[in-house]
């Protein structure tokens, strides 16, 4: 298959996402592209993945060098997974070295890695800080042991908070904790305990996601068999309001529907690049890229991915050039969820008329020619997007 045909960079900030496709065990709710050692057998390993990643980064850099515009400096790097912390401090330093060998990092680059609380230590964070990482994102999910059990998480309730404190002690000013709310069996008091723990950790960023029952997961099978109830929409809405109120009172303000930050500098610039239509290279198995309106997605299995890198060319499974309609849809979907909102001038006439109805329904307001969700609108963000796109 021929690879993506690129025309040029889009002119926004340029980021690099690196996908680490390894986990020690699979959490029952998760459908991310990740594999346990038992599932991979001898077909792929962290070493074969790192070798392939180096090859992909070199190929991408060479292809970008052919474009009319010089490759921009890398404004943000995000190493995600899977479980990047399974690579250890030395492995993650090698990932950053591989990026640096092929691209120029901006002096002010934001460099994040996701980490699972159980595979971190003070030495791990110190090593990452020395290597040039600037931000840590930890999967906490909950402070309640019985909720962590339903989610198949292997860490103890206190470990995520301890890890966040270790990261801060190692010099990380920017630390995020991920929460999942609405897990079957979670009570209001469990969520309160999770929020107490997040605030005690002193982090400057929180992401909170309602539990999504993804098709094909162990959780979906348990819900289908009636072993667990599906998350209830009213409960999810009430939990979201509780999270927002507690975080806002502690000085963490929402800047995207599921993300809160203690200051502008604490917001995740890498994710803002996705939401604001920036360019990014997604390297690693299954990673998605977007450069100047061309989108491609990599082969998912680590062994097939590595084979393709060896053959040459980008390891893409498919690619497409976004049409004007698709670009419009993406712009509306992503910008509406931001606190900065959607410039009304970006809406077509049908979208503008729908925006008036959304405002009349109290789901959004118009501030200085931007359409911005109200508190109630945030609870119904997906519905607002649907109304704007299919008036």
DSSP secondary structure string for all residues of 337-391 = TBTT-EEGGGS-HHHHHHHHHHHHTTSEEEETTEEEE-HHHHHTHHHHHHHHH--
Q: How many Cα atoms within 13 Å fall on the side-chain side of residue 191?
A: 25
The answer to whether residue 32 forms part of the interface with ligand SF4 (CB under 6 A) is yes
The answer to whether residue 114 forms part of the interface with ligand SAM (CB under 6 A) is yes
For ligand SAM, the nearest residue by Cβ is 139
The answer to whether residue 26 forms part of the interface with ligand SF4 (CB under 6 A) is yes
The answer to whether residue 211 forms part of the interface with ligand SAM (CB under 6 A) is yes
Stretch that binds ligand SF4, among 63-71, 76-84, 130-138, 337-345 (CB under 6 A): 76-84
| Strand duo 253-256 + 259-261: pairing | antiparallel
- Measured from the CB of residue 113, what is the shortest distance to ligand SAM in angstroms? 10
Given 63, 71, 76, 83, the residue binding ligand SAM (CB under 6 A): 83
- Measured from the CB of residue 79, what is the shortest distance to ligand SF4 in angstroms? 13
Stretch that binds ligand SAM, among 183-191, 204-212, 311-319, 329-337 (CB under 6 A): 204-212
Beta bridge partners of 77: 16, 111
**Residue of 250, 150, 135 whose CA lies nearest to 196:** 250
The answer to whether residue 214 forms part of the interface with ligand SAM (CB under 6 A) is yes
Element (H, E) at 304: helix 302-311
Q: Which CB, 32 or 328, lies closer to ligand SF4?
A: 32
Given 27, 77, 109, 247, the residue binding ligand SF4 (CB under 6 A): 27
109 makes contact, choosing from ligand SAM, ligand SF4, none, with CB < 5 to 8 Å by partner type, with none
Cα torsion angle, 352, 353, 359, 364, sign: negative
User: How is residue 179 annotated by DSSP?
Assistant: E
Q: Which CB, 13 or 81, lies closer to ligand SF4?
A: 81
The answer to whether residue 209 forms part of the interface with ligand SAM (CB under 6 A) is yes
Beta bridge partners of 113: 79, 136
Given 59, 71, 83, 134, the residue binding ligand SF4 (CB under 6 A): 83
- Measured from the CB of residue 219, what is the shortest distance to ligand SF4 in angstroms? 11
Question: ∠ CA(35), CA(49), CA(284), 5° rounding?
Answer: 80
Tokens 């959304």 belong to 358
Give the binding site for ligand SF4 (CB under 6 A): 23, 26-27, 30, 32, 34, 81-83, 116, 139
């Amino acid at each position: 298959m021929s690879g993506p045909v690129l025309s040029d960079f889009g002119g926004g900030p340029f980021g690099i996402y690196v996908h680490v496709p390894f986990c020690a065990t699979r959490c029952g709710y998760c459908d991310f592209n990740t594999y346990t050692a038992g599932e991979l057998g001898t077909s792929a390993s962290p070493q074969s993945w790192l070798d392939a990643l180096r090859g992909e980064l070199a190929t991408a850099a060479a292809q970008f060098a052919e474009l009319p515009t010089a490759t921009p400096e890398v404004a943000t790097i995000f190493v995600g997974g899977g479980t990047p912390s399974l690579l250890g401090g030395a492995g993650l330093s090698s990932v950053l070295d591989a990026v640096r060998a092929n691209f120029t990092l901006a002096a002010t680059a934001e460099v994040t890695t996701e980490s699972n609380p159980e595979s971190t230590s003070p030495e791990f964070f110190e090593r990452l800080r020395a290597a040039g990482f600037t931000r840590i994102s930890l999967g906490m999910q909950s402070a309640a042991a019985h909720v962590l059990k339903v989610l198949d998480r292997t860490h103890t309730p206190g470990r995520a908070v301890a890890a966040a404190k270790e990261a801060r002690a190692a010099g990380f000013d920017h630390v995020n904790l991920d929460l999942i709310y609405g897990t079957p069996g979670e009570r209001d008091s469990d969520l309160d305990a999770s929020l107490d723990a997040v605030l005690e950790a002193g982090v400057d960023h929180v992401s909170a996601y309602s539990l999504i029952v993804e098709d094909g997961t162990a959780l979906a099978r348990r819900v289908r068999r009636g072993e667990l109830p599906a998350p209830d929409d009213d409960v999810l809405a009430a939990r979201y309001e509780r999270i927002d109120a507690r975080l806002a009172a502690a000085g963490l303000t929402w800047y995207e529907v599921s993300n809160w930050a203690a200051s502008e500098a604490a917001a995740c610039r890498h994710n803002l690049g996705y939401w604001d239509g920036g360019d990014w290279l997604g390297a690693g198995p299954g990673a998605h890229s977007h450069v100047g309106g061309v989108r491609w997605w990599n082969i998912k299995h680590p062994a097939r991915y590595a084979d393709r890198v060896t053959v040459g060319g980008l390891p893409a499974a498919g690619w497409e050039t976004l049409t004007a309609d698709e670009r419009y849809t993406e712009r509306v979907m992503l910008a509406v969820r931001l606190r900065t909102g959607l410039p009304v001038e970006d809406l077509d006439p049908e979208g503008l008329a729908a925006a008036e109805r959304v405002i009349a329904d109290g789901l959004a307001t118009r501030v200085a020619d931007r359409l911005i969700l109200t508190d109630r609108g945030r609870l119904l963000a997906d519905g607002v997007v649907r109304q704007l796109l299919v008036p």
